């Protein structure tokens, strides 16, 4: 809040407090994102996880000031290096966009303008923010493409988007995002449209950005595996609200929210016998209009009981040194058991005996 | 890219051959109708009939007749109208073509410039009253028939208000060749240009606006905004440039059919001796050689213009360049 007076090392790069985004629909405001708060330190990678429609992308778009549907209401605060992004005039936002905060998108197939070469589009971004000649910009473009592992960068720069493979296009997209050395890179499902080997390469690339370019990354994904591999911290969104937040290792070892637990249980186990069917979360997330009064996950949660249904949704409760979950269980003194050692806990009754669901007699062969 | 262009040229030649054969068949090989009598005109003497039959080879097989006709059209260019006392048809078209081309090119410049401006401004100010009134204007333009609008402007500029300072410069109806008097050419054509362009401005601006609005939801437009570009640059360099692909293909079709004689109504209303008016006269007189020639001329223009548009398309859209 009083960030401008603080010394800069203590200042997180991005400090989001109670961000709410509401879209008008049928004469009412429908909250799509509600009270999302998080901080992102310099050179940190934060994973924003959630199902489709949980508000991940809307959060990112709100930070970038890219939501321009009429009547949208954005409240709360997002301090980027002490500068308030919410309500910042478009003109100033534009100076930040692409230069300080860059974004890469899910589908590299459609994210480039089809009628210009890749190089032209990267040059354009460089020249929009820095006074460089065409030649200098192109030199930087070629160098960036090379750094991103694009083979024969000078020739690739002269190719049109449709002439490149998905992986190459995503590399070019990242090169474009990094062209002005942004402090923050928002990656909106950067690997979803790519096949698995290319996915791993792109994730490697993103992981290395903090050392090679000193960038922080806000990684939006629905893939828990990607989060585990890549992110320092994790923020789990459910139906537009924060379900759980904390360091990735802690969240994965001791999830504090039943939703996180269920998400983790739906990953196929690497060791031990293969389950016939992966556990799934029954039901579907509520539409923003029909969100229940209490915990939004309540209707699908197996631990649901009366306090969950009461009007204000549960507040974040600290379950670890820097981990918090929006669940009443830890507050009631019955936290979920730690994961990993016992395997999945999906069908376990509240914190009682370790379930033996997937542990067949002899685990490893 | 060169091979793509060459292939397009080959296709053009092939299509032209097909059209010429088809037009020939329709006019001269329709069963039950004697082309000799039609060319010679009503109440022609037996001597004339005989002369026509000899000249066009109607007593010989069809392929020979076709070859004779094409020779008379394109090589010797001595196809003559019997209805119009032996007036040579090809030079007649050659005289009329510059008038039509002048009319259509001028109108095209106006409608392209104005509709791009209108469509872009409307898309940029989507939902405001400016957008709504521009699109309403476009609709009004589309709804006004060109012959009515032409007559009304004639009424206003030629008679009713001709003596006021506003319209005293307007010359009488008719055409002034560009080579004789450029300023006179411009003055004679500027009103027909605007009248012809009005409907196309309406159509094109509405199509362009719809296209731009649809494009604004595309991923690459979001990328362009995320790059920190100004809204103007995003709209013009990314949106409009991509929309031009649609715009050009639409333009090619309309331009070609207008040059091919589709501006008939405008030419008749403003007394411009163009190809459209020539076709109109040929049809009212049942002047078969002239109809044949104007139809061929129009077909050639439509096909050529389409070839040009496709080439421009190759320049505009790199995706097409590779696919061919």
pLDDT for A10 equals 61
Tokens standing for A3? 């960030």
CA–CA gap between residue A67 and residue A73 (Å, rounded): 10
Which of these, A87, A7, A21, A91, lies nearest to A288 by C-alpha position? A21
Asked if ipTM goes beyond 0.90, one says no
pLDDT at A343 over 60: no
pLDDT at A1 over 60: no
Cβ atoms of A158 and A119 within 8 Å: the answer is: yes
pLDDT at B15 over 90: no
pLDDT in tens, A235-249: 998 888 888 888 888
Tokens standing for A147? 């750094």
Q: Which residues contact A339 (CB under 8 A, 6 or more apart)?
A: A252, A253, A254, A255, A261, A264, A345
C-alpha angle A233-A236-A240 in degrees, rounded to nearest 5: 135
Domain ranges of chain B: 94-274
Alpha helices in A306-360 (DSSP H): 306-309, 328-331
Q: What is the CA radius of gyration of chain A?
A: 22
Percent of residues in chain A assigned helix, strand, coil, to nearest 5: 35, 20, 45
Q: In chain A, which ranges are E strands?
A: 14-25, 28-40, 45-49, 73-80, 83-84, 101-104, 184-188, 216-221, 233-238, 241-247, 317-318, 324-325
Highest mean pLDDT, choosing among A273-287, B71-85, B262-276 = B262-276
Cβ atoms of A122 and A172 within 8 Å: the answer is: yes
Cβ atoms of A251 and A260 within 8 Å: the answer is: yes
| Listed range (A179-183, A224-228, A297-301, B62-66) with the worst mean pLDDT | A297-301
Contact residues, chain A, for B225 at CB < 8 Å: 66, 97
pLDDT at B141 over 80: yes
Whether residue B219 lies within 8 A of chain A, CB to CB, comes out as yes
**Measuring CA to CA, how many Å separate A54 from each of A59, B189, B321?**
10, 62, 41
Cβ atoms of A115 and B318 within 8 Å: the answer is: yes
**Residue A280 has what DSSP assignment?**
-
pLDDT confidence of A29, banded at 50, 70, 90?
confident
Which of these, A94, A167, A138, lies nearest to B224 by C-alpha position? A94
Percent of chain B with pLDDT over 70: 98
pLDDT for B72 equals 83
CA–CA gap between residue A129 and residue A123 (Å, rounded): 10
Q: The CATH number of B94-274 is which of 1.20.1250.20, 3.30.1490.20, 1.10.3720.10, 3.40.50.300? A: 1.10.3720.10
Which residues between 113 and 152 in chain B have a beta carbon less than 8 angstroms from any beta carbon of chain A? 127
Tokens standing for B4? 């793509």
pTM of the entire predicted model: 0.80
CA–CA gap between residue B148 and residue A319 (Å, rounded): 80
| Ordered structural domains, chain A, with CATH | 40-64+90-231 (3.40.50.300), 244-331 (no CATH)
pLDDT confidence of A263, banded at 50, 70, 90?
confident
Percent of chain A with pLDDT over 90: 5
Contact residues, chain B, for A90 at CB < 8 Å: 231
Of A110, A125, A160, the CB nearest to B220: A110
pLDDT for A311 equals 66
pLDDT at B43 over 80: no
pLDDT at A339 over 80: no
- A176:B322 CB<8 A: no
DSSP per-residue letters across B226-283:
HTT--HHHIIIIIIIHHHHHHHHHHHHHHHHHIIIIITHHHHHHTT---HHHHHHHHH
- A105:B230 CB<8 A: no
Segment holding B81, helix H or strand E: strand B80-81
Q: What is the CA radius of gyration of chain B?
A: 24
A229/chain B closest Cα distance in angstroms: 27
B224/chain A closest Cα distance in angstroms: 8
Contacts 24+ apart (CB under 8 A), B5-10: B5/B311, B5/B314, B7/B324, B8/B307, B8/B310, B8/B311, B8/B324, B9/B307
Max Cα distance, chain A (Å): 69
Percent of chain A with pLDDT over 70: 89
Whether residue B319 lies within 8 A of chain A, CB to CB, comes out as yes
- Going B59 to B61 to B64 to B66, the CA torsion angle's sign is positive
CA–CA gap between residue B30 and residue B291 (Å, rounded): 15
**Measuring CA to CA, how many Å separate B217 from each of A68, A110, A140, A252, B78?**
11, 11, 30, 37, 58
pLDDT for A350 equals 41
pLDDT confidence of A266, banded at 50, 70, 90?
confident
Whether residue B59 lies within 8 A of chain A, CB to CB, comes out as no
State the average pLDDT over residues A269-284: 75
Of A98, A107, A113, the CB nearest to B242: A113
pLDDT for A223 equals 84
Closest-CA residue of B relative to A97 is B228
């Amino acid at each position: 809040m009083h960030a401008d007076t603080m010394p800069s090392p203590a200042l997180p790069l991005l400090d989001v407090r109670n961000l709410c985004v509401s879209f008008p629909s049928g004469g009412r405001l429908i909250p799509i994102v509600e009270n999302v708060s998080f901080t992102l330190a310099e050179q940190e990678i934060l994973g924003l996880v959630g199902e489709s429609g949980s508000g991940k992308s809307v959060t990112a778009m709100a930070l970038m000031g890219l939501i321009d549907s009429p009547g949208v209401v954005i409240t709360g605060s997002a301090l980027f290096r002490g500068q308030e992004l919410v309500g910042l005039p478009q003109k100033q936002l534009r100076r930040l966009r692409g230069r300080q905060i860059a974004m890469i998108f899910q589908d590299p197939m459609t994210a480039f303008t089809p009628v210009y070469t890749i190089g032209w589009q990267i040059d354009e971004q460089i020249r929009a923010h820095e006074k460089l000649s065409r030649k200098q910009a192109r030199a930087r473009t070629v160098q960036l493409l090379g750094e991103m592992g694009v083979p024969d960068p000078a020739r690739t720069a002269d190719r049109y988007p449709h002439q490149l493979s998905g992986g190459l296009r995503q590399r070019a997209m990242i090169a474009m995002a990094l062209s002005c050395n942004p402090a923050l890179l928002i990656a909106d499902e950067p690997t979803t449209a790519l096949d698995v080997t290319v996915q791993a390469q792109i994730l490697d690339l993103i992981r290395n950005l903090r050392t090679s370019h000193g960038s922080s990354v806000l990684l939006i994904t629905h893939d828990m595996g990607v989060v585990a591999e890549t992110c320092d911290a994790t923020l789990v969104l459910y139906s537009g609200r924060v379900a759980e937040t904390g360091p990735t290792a802690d969240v994965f070892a001791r999830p504090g929210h039943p939703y996180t637990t269920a998400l983790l249980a739906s990953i196929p186990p690497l060791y031990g016998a293969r389950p016939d069917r992966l556990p799934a979360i029954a039901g579907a997330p509520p539409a923003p209009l029909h969100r229940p009064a209490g915990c939004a996950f309540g209707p699908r949660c197996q631990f649901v009981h009366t306090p969950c249904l009461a009007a204000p949704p549960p507040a974040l409760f600290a379950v670890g040194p820097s981990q918090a979950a929006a669940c009443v269980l830890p507050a009631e003194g019955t936290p979920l058991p730690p994961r990993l050692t016992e395997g999945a806990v999906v069908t376990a009754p509240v914190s009682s005996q370790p379930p033996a669901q997937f542990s067949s007699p002899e685990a490893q062969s | 890219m060169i091979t793509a262009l060459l292939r397009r040229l080959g296709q053009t030649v092939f299509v032209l051959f097909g059209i010429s054969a088809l037009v020939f068949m329709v006019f001269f090989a329709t069963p039950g109708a004697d082309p000799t009598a039609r060319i010679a005109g009503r109440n022609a003497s037996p001597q004339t009939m005989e002369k026509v039959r000899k000249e066009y080879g109607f007593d010989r097989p069809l392929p020979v007749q076709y070859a004779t006709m094409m020779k008379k059209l394109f090589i010797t260019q001595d196809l003559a109208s019997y209805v119009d006392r032996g007036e040579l048809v090809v030079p007649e078209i050659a005289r009329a073509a510059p008038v039509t081309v002048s009319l259509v090119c001028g109108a095209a410049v106006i409608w392209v410039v104005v509709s791009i401006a209108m469509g872009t401004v409307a898309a940029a100010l989507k939902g405001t009253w400016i957008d709504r009134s521009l699109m309403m204007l476009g609709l009004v333009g589309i709804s006004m028939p060109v012959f009515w609008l032409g007559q009304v402007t004639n009424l206003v500029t030629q008679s009713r208000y001709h003596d006021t300072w506003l319209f005293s410069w307007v010359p009488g109806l008719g055409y002034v060749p560009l080579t004789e008097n450029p300023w006179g050419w411009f003055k004679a054509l500027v009103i027909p240009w605007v009248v012809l362009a009005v409907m196309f401005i309406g159509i094109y601006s509405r199509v362009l606006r719809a296209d731009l609005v649809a494009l604004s939801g595309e991923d690459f437009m979001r990328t362009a905004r995320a790059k920190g570009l100004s809204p103007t640059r995003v709209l013009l360099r990314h949106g409009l440039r991509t929309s031009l692909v649609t715009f050009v293909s639409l333009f090619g079709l309309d331009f070609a059919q207008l040059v091919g004689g589709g501006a008939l109504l405008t030419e008749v209303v403003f007394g411009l001796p163009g190809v459209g008016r020539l076709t109109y006269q040929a049809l009212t007189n049942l002047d078969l050689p002239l109809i044949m020639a104007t139809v061929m001329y129009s077909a050639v223009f439509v096909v050529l213009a389409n070839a040009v548009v496709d080439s421009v398309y190759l320049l505009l859209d790199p995706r097409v360049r590779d696919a061919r």
